[in-house]
Amino acid sequence: MSILVIGSVAFDSIETPFGKVDEVLGGSATYFSTAASFFTDVNLVAVVGEDFPDEHRQMLVDRGIDLAGLKTAPGKTFRWKGRYGFDLNEAHTLDTQLNVFETFKPEIPVRYKDSEYVFLANIDPELQLDVLNQVEKPKLIACDTMNFWIEGKRDALLNTLKHVDVLVINEGEVRQLAEEPNLRKAAQVILSMGPKSLVVKRGEYGVIMFSEHSIFATPAYPLEEVFDPTGAGDTFAGGFIGYLASTRNLTEANIRKAVVFGSVMASFTVESFSLDRLKQLDYDEIKARFKEMKLLSDFEPIV
Ligand code: AMP
């Protein structure tokens, strides 16, 4: 079952305590689709500028990602510049250049319209809504966003959230969006905005998912070395939604498994810059880490 994703395709310039790269392939939709492509077909909606090289396009095509919805517009590709200190859980944005996204009007290819799974990756919430208005009746709509849009386009974001089933954001964004410091209370506020579930990404501390009647938490895979956390959140979402779409099963038990697949995928992305690690990954490595994750938090009930 295929997934439709709208989000950014970007050139990222990143500095971490362990290295520095300039204008490497990044973007929320790029990480998402690459991760999801390990599980199912992905239809990508985004825009790039004339400076976007064929080599990046080819990498996505080789992973089976449908690029009919990737428009090339006059101008420059979206650019993001970020820095991380030793606390790798927090990205400091140094610069965001929307470029071709400023005037982008998404037009969904006809064959994308009946997509049953839709992921609104981190991008202008007005574009997210625009895409939702063009799809027929998805089974599941999930969404990500970030402080840039929570501060800059709050009303548009609240409008988009009314249509969203699962919101996937990081801990700081939960507090900021809900205007509430306590995570559990903040989750209640967000669940009243529209989403039925809230998945909170907590960097090296894992993920906690709040739904109306349940809370589920899982640790992050304990890596010895984290090199660059950029894209971890989008990769998480790609594994999470990719697994759900491939199994077409939205029971609580399966959603929990999907959260673990998301965490496993993210653990690979952070091992190197850009999509370098995902490009070399195979499904056996994913399965092996999934098994380790089960052991990591398995314990006996009390009698
Ligand atoms: P994350 O998974 O949260 O680390 O997302 C990192 C990716 O988000 C980077 O590859 C950036 O290109 C992209 N990004 C950063 N800021 C924005 C923004 N305001 N809108 C869309 N994408 C962004």
Q: CA-to-CA distance for 166 and 209, rounded, in angstroms? A: 10
CA of 121 to the centre of ligand 1 (A): 9
> Average pLDDT of the chain?
97
CA of 189 to the centre of ligand 1 (A): 25
Which pLDDT does position 32 carry in this prediction?
98
Q: Which two tokens stand for residue 6?
A: 């709208």
Q: Is 8 helix (H, G, I), strand (E, B) or coil?
A: coil
How far is the CA of 42 from the CAs of 30, 101, 239, 294, in angstroms? 11, 21, 12, 27
Q: What is the pLDDT of residues 161-189, one digit of tens each?
A: 999 999 999 999 999 999 999 999 999 99
Which pLDDT does position 245 carry in this prediction?
98
> Sign of the CA dihedral 191, 193, 195, 199?
negative
CA of 28 to the centre of ligand 1 (A): 5
Mean pLDDT along residues 228-241: 97
pLDDT of 114 strictly over 90: yes
Predicted TM-score (pTM) of the model is 0.97
Ligand 1, closest atom to CA 232?
2
Q: Does residue 263 line the site of ligand 1, with CB under 6 A?
A: no
Q: Compute CA 199 distance to the chain's CA centroid, rounded to the nearest angstrom.
A: 11
Q: CA-to-CA distance for 142 and 168, rounded, in angstroms? A: 7
- Tell me whether residue 30 is exposed, middle or buried, using C-beta atoms within 10 angstroms of its C-beta: 0 to 12, 13 to 18, 19 or more: buried
pLDDT of 1 strictly over 80: no
Q: Which two tokens stand for residue 79?
A: 């650019």
Ligand 1, closest atom to CA 80?
12
Q: What is the pLDDT of residues 193-219, one digit of tens each?
A: 999 999 999 999 999 999 999 999 999
CA of 41 to the centre of ligand 1 (A): 22
Q: Whose CA is nearest to atom 6 of ligand 1?
A: 231
Position 90 confidence tier, pLDDT thresholds 50, 70, 90:
confident
Q: CA-to-CA distance for 187 and 193, rounded, in angstroms? A: 10
Give the chain's end-to-end CA distance (angstroms, integer): 42
Q: Which two tokens stand for residue 191?
A: 């669940």
- At residue 71, what are phi and psi to the nearest 5 degrees? -85, 145
